[in-house]
Structure 1
Amino acid sequence: MAPEPFTLHVPDAEIADLRDRLARTRWPDAAPGEPWSAGADVAWVQELVAYWRDGFDWRAAEARLNAFPQFKVPLGGIGLHYLHVPGQGPAPMPLLLSHGWPGSVFEFTDIIPRLTDPARFGGDPADAFTVVAPSLPGYGLSFAPGQRRFGPPEAADLFAGLMTDVLGYRRFGAQGGDWGAFITGSLAHRHPGRMIGVHFNLLSGLVGSALRRDDPVPEEREYLEQLAEWDRDSRAYAVLQGTRPQTPAFALTDSPAGLAAWIAEKFQAWADGGVDAVPRDAMLADIALYWFTGTIGPSFWLYYARQHGALPIPAGATVGVPAGHAVFPREILRPPRVVAERVFTDLRHWTVMERGGHFAALEQPEALARDIQDFFRPLR
């Protein structure tokens, strides 16, 4: 299990092929109604694709990621890719950062320096972390054709092995949103003795079994209304990816414009401010990594595994690891604290953020980093 240094470099021929495919895009007719009301807006995606073809600098994106120490290690039957960035402080705490869908380790390029070197941003060096940020199995650089697939509990076991068996951290903190939250919650349930604490910027998928639908308190009633709206208007992608992940993989692996539309629509729906909340180059770095690695199909497997496999925290189970939650106002779903406390019995930190949405590390890296520091400070 010896890690090997890794540098990202996409061959020139693959970049040229992408530009050729983008130039030959066959565009759909625009649906009637307001832009984005029926899905990705055709005119906006056309502009994004034109910029991706003629303006976006993939080599600059590569350089941003390659500025961090990266490694690959054979673990759990796959080649696991991860960033391992030493902290600059007197006693940096090891912190596992887990991304989600449709994300990648590119999400963390702004937040990692704030966590590893807080003094550089006017903070206290005593708050420094040593950050380990893996590419989720099946995503980006943690994928090879034909490899085994992972659900959230199996991914949690894989990351526990990375942190303890490979890197030698007997105990560590963990943070995540989206699937990263599922993995972080599963770590706390399955490996509590290894965890210093767990911090989330999404809790909805972890605490649903604790809802009291028959006799809800007022906060639960509001959340149940959120869930009903989500099921009615926004859940179709998750049902498709969780029941027939192979079928959309054909189209999205073959069409870069289709891939861009599929992912950008989620930025529009989930970010605080839509697609304008995230720099276009940051969004395209994420999309392009899916394209060059051919991993949009494998990335769907977590949805399939969640639909057909074990919950990250079994129904009725509780977690006693110290926990914290940053509640961003435009997050997809925002369960109330009273529900979260039925699962996380030591929920000692709950921050309602002023702004931000689902892509917190991209949208609000300073605010998220500060909240992570505040939560873990008493646990050091």
Structure 2
Amino acid sequence: MSEVGKSRQIELNFPDEELDRLQRKLDDARLPDTEITGGLKPWEYGTKLSKLQSVLNDWKSGNPKDNHGKPVGTPGQGVKKWWKAIESELNRFPHYMVRIEGIDIHYQHFKSSVPDSEASTPAIPFIFSHGWPGCFTEAHHFAARLVESKSPRFEVIVPSLPGYGLSQAPGKKDWSLIDTARIFDTLMTSVLGFKSYMAQGGDWGSLVTRFLANHPACKIAHINYAPPQPPKWSTPLMTLEHWGYKGVAPAGLKLMGYHPQGVLGVQRTFEYLNQGSGYAQIQSTQPSTIGYSLYDNPVGILSWIMEKFDAWSDPRCAAVNRSNSDIDPRSHVTDETVLTVVMIYYLTNTIHTSFLNYKESFHFFVKPDWKLWDQAKDKPFGYTSFPYELAAGPRTWLKNYRLNWQYYKMHDFGGHFAALDNPDALVEDMQEFASQHWPGL
């Protein structure tokens, strides 16, 4: 039996002096006048300078852009007034802290808005696990909508991963996502008293979810991130692509009749490996070097994180699109939500500890040991495919995960941060999956 403390309710209410200090740092920040070299394609060498300058200016004045590409708040109101409005929104659903295995864990609790008197079945306990560079705020729009579901109903728990935001870092070597899943299971069962629950996640959260499924109380699980595990027959195609024969693998898969979204997933996988994975190499080898460099560096955190949201989100979202005419308001990947994530990392001083999963758990993606999931292999699993996932493959390749796939859905909009990028679609999928596979429904 693991050490478990008593939950206490908290509110997000960062000190005024910290917000005033942040304002001074942003006002005093300097950026280059021109791009690192001339003739660049947008984002070709990393963060686009003009975008960084624009978001920084909006951040300083306190009116970043929403999912319609429109500034929020009053121009010139400043960081503090804007952030207090964000805190108020995030506090609509209660926050808690609890000590488990000597680590203070933060979680947010979204209860069903449908009264018990109007329901025929109890609400399904549901845990959402975020990833990097996300944080608990990644789930806000998704969870708020999921608890409005009438049939089935849901009760949603959104914890912060250890070392992220308000959750304490483990403070010890070799703490992996297996350990994180164990304390999240303790949270759901010993702290909150649920006899059974449903789990969902993407990015690191997909691994946490798969490890949660090893625990008896987790009855069904859903993920929206499954890097391709290609079959052996595809090895020549994948090898040629890896050796620099650009486009060979996607072209070959297309000729074989694979769905275009699966082909796009493979194409994006190689784009990620060849052009977008340098951060992972740094964070998985020398996390303290980059971590200490970004610590107390709000503009540095913004530049480091913003590039990931641009590369991994649907290009039609407000934070990424190239012209305001084609903004799709279904997505909540906006300048404001990206800055909200940056603010959480900065105000909680956790950007450096958020890198620890790369050092301790990256091998679960690179060289998976399938025996680690033996206890989960018979439980119903679901998967949702979004077109702009950073790494994906054809549906048939999922069988190589050796999980009990019982649900699959494909959407034509969305990316890696599914709970932000297309929350309505993810809500619908949770309703469908639970209706079909939750015990007793």
TM-score higher than 0.5 here? yes
Question: Can you list the C-alpha shifts for 1:86-135, whole angstroms capped at 9, x where unaligned?
Answer: 224431000000111111111122111221122xxxxxx12111101001
Match of 2:29 in 1: 25
CA displacement at 1:228 relative to structure 2: 3.5
Distance 2:9 2:385 in 1: 36
CA displacement at 1:339 relative to structure 2: 2.3
Question: Can you list the C-alpha shifts for 1:187-243, whole angstroms capped at 9, x where unaligned?
Answer: 22x32x222211111111xx6487665478856995665543322111111111111
User: Is 267-276 or 365-374 further displaced after alignment?
Assistant: 267-276
Instruction: Name the SS of the counterpart of 2:303 in structure 1.
Output: helix
* Equivalent of 2:343 in 288, 293, 296: 288
Query: What amino acid sits opposite 2:35 in the alignment?
Result: A
Residues 92, 126 of structure 1: 8 Å contact kept: no
CA displacement at 1:48 relative to structure 2: 0.8
Residues 198, 323 of structure 1: 8 Å contact kept: yes
Match of 2:9 in 1: 5
Match of 1:121 in 2: none
Instruction: Name the SS of the counterpart of 1:342 in structure 2.
Output: helix
CA spacing shift, 1:212–1:6, aligned 2, 3 Å: farther
Is 1:184 the counterpart of 2:209 in the alignment? yes
Instruction: Name the SS of the counterpart of 2:409 in structure 1.
Output: strand
Distance 1:312 1:293 in 2: 32
Distance 1:145 1:60 in 2: 31
Residues 229, 401 of structure 2: 8 Å contact kept: no
TM-score (norm 1): 0.90
CA displacement at 1:328 relative to structure 2: 0.3
Query: What amino acid sits opposite 2:419 in the alignment?
Result: A
Instruction: Name the SS of the counterpart of 2:352 in structure 1.
Output: helix
Query: What amino acid sits opposite 2:127 in the alignment?
Result: L
* Equivalent of 1:339 in 397, 402, 417: 397
Distance 1:27 1:145 in 2: 35
Distance 1:300 1:320 in 2: 32
Residues 209, 315 of structure 1: 8 Å contact kept: no
Which ranges of structure 2 fall in alignment gaps of 5 or more residues? 64-81, 238-252, 321-330
Match of 2:59 in 1: 52
Match of 2:293 in 1: 251
CA displacement at 1:25 relative to structure 2: 1.5
Which ranges of structure 1 fall in alignment gaps of 5 or more residues? 119-124
Is 1:234 the counterpart of 2:265 in the alignment? no
Instruction: Name the SS of the counterpart of 2:370 in structure 1.
Output: coil
CA displacement at 1:24 relative to structure 2: 1.6
Instruction: From the CA coordinates, give the structure whose radius of gyration is larger.
Output: 2
Match of 2:323 in 1: none
CA displacement at 1:366 relative to structure 2: 0.8
Runs of 4+ in structure 1 deviating by more than 3 angstroms, as ranges, are: 144-150, 207-229, 307-313, 315-318
CA displacement at 1:315 relative to structure 2: 3.2
Give the alignment of 1:72-87 within 5 angstroms.
Answer: 72-87=97-112
CA displacement at 1:368 relative to structure 2: 0.8
CA spacing shift, 1:312–1:257, aligned 2, 3 Å: same
Query: What amino acid sits opposite 1:40 in the alignment?
Result: T
CA displacement at 1:338 relative to structure 2: 2.0
Match of 1:16 in 2: 20
CA spacing shift, 1:320–1:209, aligned 2, 3 Å: farther
Match of 1:161 in 2: 186
Distance 1:351 1:4 in 2: 38
Is 1:268 the counterpart of 2:310 in the alignment? yes
Is 1:172 the counterpart of 2:197 in the alignment? yes
Residues 266, 391 of structure 2: 8 Å contact kept: no
Is 1:104 the counterpart of 2:162 in the alignment? no
CA spacing shift, 1:183–1:379, aligned 2, 3 Å: same
CA spacing shift, 1:229–1:363, aligned 2, 3 Å: closer
Question: Can you list the C-alpha shifts for 1:248-293, whole angstroms capped at 9, x where unaligned?
Answer: 1122113211110111111111110262452222111111001101
CA spacing shift, 1:310–1:153, aligned 2, 3 Å: farther
Distance 2:48 2:205 in 1: 28
Question: Can you list the C-alpha shifts for 1:308-332, whole angstroms capped at 9, x where unaligned?
Answer: 6798962365522101111000011
Percent identity over the alignment is 33
